[in-house]
Structure 1
Amino acid sequence: MFDFSVWLTIAIMHAVAVASPGPDFAVVLKQSLQKGKKAGIWTSIGVGSGILVHVVYSLLGVGLLIQANDWLYEVLLYAAAAYLVWIGFGALRSMPSENQTQDVPAAKGTSKNAFILGFITNGLNPKATLFFLALYSLAIPTDTSLSVKLAYGVYLAVATGLWFVFVSLLASHASIRRIYQQKGYWFDRLMGVVIILMAILLVVSQ
C-alpha cells in the first residue's frame, strides 16, 4: 500500500541529492550552454531514464540482502553517511573559477546521442549507485509491495528528468551562464552544508 510519509521522505532526500553538484548537473549544464535547449532537454531525459537502472538493481538485490543480513543495514547506513559527508565537504571546498562546469565529453549531432550521453552519465555513476542503494534500504520498508516500490522508482525517474529539463531551460540563456560562472561556487557551498546535515540526520535518527 502506498505510504505518503515514505514517499515524502524519498521526495525530500531525492530533491536534496538531485540538486547537489555532480556529473549529471555538469553534463546537462554543458550540453545546454554549448549546444542549446534541445540538446539539454534530451540529455535531461536520458539522465532521468538512467535512474531506472539504479531502481531496478536496488529492487532486485538490496531488499533480499537486508533480510538475510541484519548487519548490512548499519553498513549501508554509515556508508551512505560517509559518502554524503565526502561529497558535502567537496562542495564546501568549491572555489571561484572562470568555468564552473566540468569537462564532460558531449555527444554530437542528434537528440539520440544527447539522450545516450545523459543515460550513461547517470547509469554508470558510482556515487548514484551508493546513494540509491542506501535510499531504498533505509527509506522504504522491506515489506512494501513490489508495485509500490516500482511506483516510487518511476517517480524518482520522472522527477529527476523534470528537474534537469528545468535546469537545461534556464541554462540556455546567456545571462544565466555568466551568473553561474561568476557565482556558482556559492551554490556549491550551500549544497555542501545541506548534504552534510542530511548525513548527520541519517545517523542520529537511528
Structure 2
Amino acid sequence: MNETTVLLTLASVHFVALMSPGPDFALVVQSAGRHGRRTGVFIALGLSLGILLHALFSLTGVSFLIQQHPLWFLCIKLAGGSYLLWLGVGALKYVMRHWRQRHSLGAAPVAAAAGSASASAGRALVKGFTTNILNPKALVFFVSLMSSLVPVSMSTQGKLMALLIIWGLSLGWFAALAWLLTSQRLQQRLNRARLGIDAVCGGIFTLLGGAIVLQSLTMALT
C-alpha cells in the first residue's frame, strides 16, 4: 500500500475505535453532564494527548518494549486499573451522597450542589490524559494498530502525518461529543439524569478497573 492508502486505513480504523464505548467515552459523558462544556472540552484535549502519546510510543517501539517486559506491563496494568477503580468508586460515592441528600432535603439542594460543582481546565486536562495513558488496553491497541498498518519503511513525514491524523480525529471526536452533550436541549435532559449517568459511568469504571486489577494480581501470583 502507498502512504496515502495507509493513512486513510489508519484513520478509518482509529475512528471506528473512537466511537466504541469505553472509559474515554464514559469520562466525556460524565464530565460534560456534571461540569459543563468547558470541562468536557478540556477532558477531550487530555484524552487526545494521551492517545497521541500512545501512538508516538507505539511508532518508536517504546510500547512494544513495555508490553514484552512482564514486570513493566504489570505495573502499567495495576496503575491503570487502580486509577479506573478510584474514578468509579468516587463517582458511586458522589451518587450515593446526593441520593441521600435528595431524599432527606428534596431535589432542589441536590441540583444546586451538582450545578455548583466545577473543575479547573488544568484538572480536567490531567484527568483526561491520565485516564487514557494509564489504560493498558489502549497501549495494546496502538501497538497492534501501528505494527499492522504502519510499515517500518514509511517516511518520517508519513509517520508524522499519521500522528497528526490520530490526534486530530481523537480531539475532534471527543470535543464534538462534549459540545453536543452540553447543547441547551441535551443539557436540560442531562441535568435531570445526572445521577443516573454518574451511576452508570461509575459502574463502568469500577467494573473495568476491578477486572484489570484482579487480572493483574492473578498474573503476578501465578
Give the secondary structure class of the aligned counterpart of 1:49.
Answer: helix
Matched to 1:141, the amino acid is P
Asked whether the equivalents of residues 181 and 187 of structure 2 are also in contact (C-alpha less than 8 Å), the reply is yes
Percent of residue pairs identical: 36
CA gap of 1:165–1:64, structure 2 versus 1, over 3 A, is closer
Q: Does 1:46 align with 2:49?
A: no
Which of 132, 136, 149 is 1:122 aligned to? 132
Alignment of 1:26-175 (within 5 A): 26-61=26-61, 103=88, 109-172=119-182, 173-174=186-187
TM-score scaled by structure 1?
0.62
Give the secondary structure class of the aligned counterpart of 1:26.
Answer: helix
Shift of 1:55: 1.6
CA gap of 1:56–1:170, structure 2 versus 1, over 3 A, is same
CA gap of 1:38–1:104, structure 2 versus 1, over 3 A, is farther
CA gap of 1:176–1:161, structure 2 versus 1, over 3 A, is farther
Matched to 1:133, the amino acid is V
Tell me how large the CA RMSD over aligned residues is: 3.2
**Which structure 2 residue ranges, 5 or more long, are not aligned?**
69-86, 92-116, 201-222
Runs of 4 or more, structure 1, over 6 Å off, are: 62-65
Shift of 1:103: 3.5
Aligned to 1:92: none
Aligned to 1:18: 18
Shift of 1:108: 5.5
CA gap of 1:59–1:104, structure 2 versus 1, over 3 A, is farther
Asked whether the equivalents of residues 31 and 40 of structure 1 are also in contact (C-alpha less than 8 Å), the reply is yes
Give the secondary structure class of the aligned counterpart of 1:144.
Answer: coil
Shift of 1:7: 1.0
Deviations 1:90-133 (A, max 9, x none): xxxxxxxxxxxx84758953101001111111111111111110
**Which structure 1 residue ranges, 5 or more long, are not aligned?**
66-71, 73-101, 185-206
Shift of 1:151: 1.6
Matched to 1:37, the amino acid is R
Deviations 1:64-83 (A, max 9, x none): 98xxxxxx9xxxxxxxxxxx
Give the secondary structure class of the aligned counterpart of 2:61.
Answer: helix
Shift of 1:166: 0.6
Q: Does 1:8 align with 2:8?
A: yes
Asked whether the equivalents of residues 63 and 137 of structure 1 are also in contact (C-alpha less than 8 Å), the reply is no
Give the secondary structure class of the aligned counterpart of 2:151.
Answer: coil
CA gap of 1:122–1:104, structure 2 versus 1, over 3 A, is farther
Give the secondary structure class of the aligned counterpart of 1:132.
Answer: helix
Shift of 1:146: 2.6
Shift of 1:148: 1.6
TM-score scaled by structure 2?
0.58
Please tell me whether Structure 1 or Structure 2 has the larger radius of gyration of its CA atoms. Answer: 2
Give, in whole Å, the separation in 2 of the partners of 1:18 and 1:7. 16
CA gap of 1:56–1:135, structure 2 versus 1, over 3 A, is same
